A and B are shown apart, each in its own frame.
Chain A
Amino acid sequence: MNFGLSEEQELLQQTIDQFLANECPPARLHEIFDGEEALDAELWRGLMELGLGGLAISESHGGAGLEMVDLALACEVLGRHAAPGPYLGHALAGVAIELGGSDAQKERWLPRLAAGDALATLAFAEPGGIWDPSQWRAAVRDGRVDGVKEHVLGGSAADLWIVGCAGGDLALVERGAEGAALEPFDGLDRSRRLDRLALAGTPCELLERGAAAAQRVRDAALCLLSADAFGGASRSLEMAVEFAQQREQFGVTIAHFQAVKHQLADLASEVEPARALFWYAAHAWDARPEQSERAAALAKAHVAERFVHAAYETAEIFGGIGVTWEGDIQIWLKRALFDRVYFGDTESHRERAARLADW
């Protein structure tokens, strides 16, 4: 029995944490958030140089061959720093090809994804909030795909889209393919840019075992989103604690007031236990497949809600600063609202969790 992190896992988190503290401090984060670029190429290159492109890609294809737990730990740190960019999509595209690709497909794409030479992402959602693979409508016929995908993370920066199709199939579509039209989406969380992808008779290549992989990829997405949400929530709490220990009113720091202390203690007791829940969901994905689907749904719903709560309460602790665009917490609050809805909202995953338990 070992439900804790290894030294290697702690080191992985420290490395990413240090990189983001240096390369993406809040001032830089605001610039990217406010900017017009779809992708901050420098930051992306830095993350790829750290080896994040191939964390969960097998070693034989140039990755580090690590597990979902490790990928989740990386996502926790990215959430902690509200790191901009399409990392979630890229990492999950690697998982999709690793699980569903033929040898040739893996050979072709995984080394490039691992090295960061190609950027890949998932195109799963369809209009009407449809995330579930069993409900996808995009149709593949004779090697061409027709359909509309929404909320494609980093869609306009990607070289490769993994498109969810009818029957739960997954199709590879390359940038510049005929009939593929991108339209930027004016999203709430500007640190994670979304695009609409319309496909009309677009040449594609089905992943060999895509239909079998799609649900697992979705579960992986829920694990990683819950990890991101935990990182964001625990950082929100830290910001609130730091602010309360600096801000003076009535001649003392506001941390002296029991009203504030108790608000922070309640917040901590909402947030900190959720760490074990995202660990469990990721560990179940790796080691307890029979529990994984439900654990992922439960964790995503719970942790994303904790993040919304933590960011909202923290904004309140900040007082006037909390309601400005210049304040940092607004970026985390918007990330929380993104995490809550992306890959299906809280209510939909709670209902799935109830059904999966045969309630």
Chain B
Amino acid sequence: MDLRYGPEYERFRQEVREFLAETWPLSGEEAKLERVQQSARFRKRAIARGYLARAVPRAYGGSEQPPDVLRASIIREEFARAGAPLDVGAPAAQLIPTLVAHGTEEQKRAYLPGTVTGELLWCQGYSEPGAGSDLASVQTRAELVDGEWVIHGQKIWTSYAHWAEMIYMLVRTEPAAAGKHAGLSYLLVDMQQPGIDVRPLKSLNGDSHFNEVFFDGARAPADRIVGRRGQGWNVSRSTLQAERNAVATADTTLKQFSELLELAKSTRRNGRPAIEDPAVRQRLVEIEGYVTSHEYSSHRQLTCAARGESPGLIGTMNKLVGTDIATRMARLGLEISAEGALDAPYHHAEMLTGGSGEANPVARFLHSLSIRAGGGTSNIQRNIIGERGLGLPRDFAVQKRKAPA
């Protein structure tokens, strides 16, 4: 056991630090660009050095590096320390491995270069009003009419649909296929067209980062299908796995814990800093036990990945563990705030969805609900841990109810 990276990797870390010192933040005229443009320019330079888009071939705008989880981990640590943009996040992050694995040559050339730099903005069309945890029951349909897909239906909880240029989506193309998993296809569709109506959904935090998206005769060329017709479920599964791994990583958890500590130090309770309250101290260390377990479990899984071994049980539970810790932290943040928790959090909500600023405990608490639901609810995670991790039997097939006569 050795938590040090060793001389070869420390040299690499030094290289990364030097690159970041020279490259980020941008200077001169570039510093005046919009954030998205700044990030894209920086990412291009980082990709040229082999630091980002490491799993994407050079031909498609990536840096095509051999898999090396330790280098990847150093890059994450150093970029985060410098506040520099990392690889693009959700929902584009889940599309990238899917396109690399299943996309056609034309699709990869057309979409990957812009996606890896963050210039091409995507949203994800999976959930529908009637297809949440039971995602395979999506009803939005697409028919081939005169060489074009024509789409009718509705998606929901579609984050960033109001900004995105494109949507990757699951649609039903073979309504006659046997079984709900068959007959789905994975399509790439332009958002700027008359057949698409985006209506913002206001979250309980007061922000509107997700939307309902209505499709009424929206169109996409026939070659915008990823994978084969009717194979969309299998294509989307690689995407879902990537999403689970991205949610509530130990890095996020550690950052939130240090914010909670700052809150406890800066908030006064009974005339003293809250952190001097014995009850608060007990709760903080209790939570830190979970946080540190999660942190070192991620080192453990990093080691498994480097050795090419399966992490086993622990690998099935990252999302549930991470979101449970987030809820515990959010709850303690509320308690520390005491009367302060009566304040409206609405002006703080932006920072939870990509903005920056002071973390407001109420907004944090309310937001913790949305990470429990996204990317597979906590109860779905419990099924995954139970069935794949512990080897328990799968759920009973739900009995088909007869329609009333």
- A interface with B by C-beta (< 8 Å): 1-6, 69, 241, 244-245, 253, 255-256, 258, 261-262, 264-266, 268-269, 272-277, 279-280, 283, 286-288, 295, 298-299, 301-302, 305, 347, 350-351, 353-354, 359
Expressed in whole angstroms, the Cα–Cα distance for A287 and B4 within the complex equals 10
Q: Tell me which of B264, B307, B396 contacts A4 (CB under 8 A).
A: B307
Instruction: Find the residue from A269, A295, A347, A354 having the highest chain B CB count within 10 A.
Output: A269
Interfacial chain B residues near A262, Cβ < 8 Å: 379, 382-383, 386
Q: Do the beta carbons of A265 and B1 come within 8 Å of each other?
A: no
Expressed in whole angstroms, the Cα–Cα distance for A359 and B280 within the complex equals 11
Interface code B373-394, partner A: CB below 8 Å = 1, 0 otherwise? 0000001011101110111110
Q: Do the beta carbons of B2 and A2 come within 8 Å of each other?
A: yes
Q: Do the beta carbons of B303 and A298 come within 8 Å of each other?
A: no
B46 to chain A, nearest CB (A): 22
Q: Does more than half of chain A's interface fall in helix, strand or loop, or is it mixed?
A: helix
Interfacial chain B residues near A288, Cβ < 8 Å: 3
Chain A residue at minimal CB-CB distance from B288: A298
Q: Do the beta carbons of A301 and B285 come within 8 Å of each other?
A: yes
Q: Do the beta carbons of A302 and B290 come within 8 Å of each other?
A: yes
Interfacial chain B residues near A354, Cβ < 8 Å: 281-282, 284-285
Instruction: Find the residue from A5, A6, A353, A359 having the highest chain B CB count within 10 A.
Output: A359
Show 9 residue pairs from A and B whose CB-CB distance is below 8 angstroms, ordered by the A residue.
Answer: A1-B6, A255-B393, A265-B390, A268-B390, A273-B321, A276-B295, A287-B2, A350-B285, A359-B281
Known: A265-B383, A268-B385, A301-B285. A1 touches B9 (CB 8 A): yes
Q: Do the beta carbons of B289 and A302 come within 8 Å of each other?
A: yes
Q: Does B302 contact A (CB under 8 A)?
A: yes
B309 to chain A, nearest CB (A): 8
Given contacts A258-B395, A268-B389, A277-B293, 16 further A-B contacts (CB under 8 A): A1-B4, A1-B73, A2-B303, A3-B296, A4-B304, A262-B379, A264-B386, A264-B390, A268-B317, A273-B317, A274-B293, A276-B297, A288-B3, A298-B285, A298-B292, A301-B286
Expressed in whole angstroms, the Cα–Cα distance for A175 and B78 within the complex equals 57
B82 to chain A, nearest CB (A): 21
Q: Do the beta carbons of B383 and A351 come within 8 Å of each other?
A: no
Expressed in whole angstroms, the Cα–Cα distance for A92 and B299 within the complex equals 28
Q: Do the beta carbons of B1 and A4 come within 8 Å of each other?
A: yes
Q: Do the beta carbons of B282 and A351 come within 8 Å of each other?
A: yes
B301 to chain A, nearest CB (A): 9
Q: Tell me which of A275, A350, A351 contacts B297 (CB under 8 A).
A: A275
Chain A residue at minimal CB-CB distance from B320: A269
Q: Does B278 contact A (CB under 8 A)?
A: yes
Expressed in whole angstroms, the Cα–Cα distance for A237 and B5 within the complex equals 34
Q: Do the beta carbons of B317 and A3 come within 8 Å of each other?
A: no
5 A-B pairs with the lowest CB-CB distances in the bound complex, closest first = A302-B289, A276-B296, A265-B385, A265-B382, A350-B285
Known: A262-B379, A265-B389, A351-B278. A1 touches B285 (CB 8 A): no
Expressed in whole angstroms, the Cα–Cα distance for A302 and B302 within the complex equals 23
Interfacial chain B residues near A241, Cβ < 8 Å: 390-392
Q: Do the beta carbons of A261 and B303 come within 8 Å of each other?
A: no
Q: Do the beta carbons of B386 and A261 come within 8 Å of each other?
A: yes
Interfacial chain A residues near B385, Cβ < 8 Å: 265, 268-269
Q: Do the beta carbons of B293 and A273 come within 8 Å of each other?
A: yes
Interface code B254-280, partner A: CB below 8 Å = 1, 0 otherwise? 000000010011000000000110100
Interfacial chain A residues near B282, Cβ < 8 Å: 347, 350-351, 354
Q: Tell me which of B278, B306, B382, B392 contacts A245 (CB under 8 A).
A: B392
Q: Do the beta carbons of A272 and B313 come within 8 Å of each other?
A: yes
Q: Tell me which of A256, A265, A276, A347 contacts B299 (CB under 8 A).
A: A276
Q: Tell me which of A266, A283, A347, A359 contacts B382 (CB under 8 A).
A: A266
Q: Does B314 contact A (CB under 8 A)?
A: yes
Expressed in whole angstroms, the Cα–Cα distance for A51 and B6 within the complex equals 32
Q: Do the beta carbons of B293 and A1 come within 8 Å of each other?
A: no
A243 to chain B, nearest CB (A): 12
Interfacial chain B residues near A275, Cβ < 8 Å: 297, 300, 314
Interfacial chain A residues near B389, Cβ < 8 Å: 265, 268
Q: Do the beta carbons of A261 and B382 come within 8 Å of each other?
A: yes
Q: Does B90 contact A (CB under 8 A)?
A: no
Q: Do the beta carbons of A350 and B382 come within 8 Å of each other?
A: no
Q: Tell me which of B265, B292, B304, B392 contacts A261 (CB under 8 A).
A: B392
Q: Do the beta carbons of A2 and B1 come within 8 Å of each other?
A: yes
Known: A256-B396, A262-B382, A264-B392. A277 touches B317 (CB 8 A): no
Interfacial chain A residues near B3, Cβ < 8 Å: 1, 3, 283, 287-288
Q: Do the beta carbons of A256 and B393 come within 8 Å of each other?
A: yes
B275 to chain A, nearest CB (A): 5
Q: Do the beta carbons of A261 and B383 come within 8 Å of each other?
A: yes
* Residues 1-55 (chain B) with a chain A CB within 8 angstroms: 1-6, 9
Expressed in whole angstroms, the Cα–Cα distance for A244 and B381 within the complex equals 19
Chain B residue at minimal CB-CB distance from A245: B392
Expressed in whole angstroms, the Cα–Cα distance for A2 and B293 within the complex equals 16
B128 to chain A, nearest CB (A): 24
B253 to chain A, nearest CB (A): 11
Q: Does B70 contact A (CB under 8 A)?
A: yes
A252 to chain B, nearest CB (A): 8
Expressed in whole angstroms, the Cα–Cα distance for A36 and B131 within the complex equals 63
Known: A3-B296, A3-B303, A244-B392. A273 touches B1 (CB 8 A): no
Q: Does B219 contact A (CB under 8 A)?
A: no
Interfacial chain A residues near B386, Cβ < 8 Å: 261-262, 264-265
Q: Does B165 contact A (CB under 8 A)?
A: no
Q: Do the beta carbons of A279 and B1 come within 8 Å of each other?
A: yes
Expressed in whole angstroms, the Cα–Cα distance for A264 and B388 within the complex equals 12
Expressed in whole angstroms, the Cα–Cα distance for A272 and B314 within the complex equals 6
Q: Do the beta carbons of B392 and A302 come within 8 Å of each other?
A: no
Q: Does B294 contact A (CB under 8 A)?
A: yes
Known: A261-B392, A277-B293, A350-B286. A3 touches B299 (CB 8 A): yes
Chain B residue at minimal CB-CB distance from A9: B1
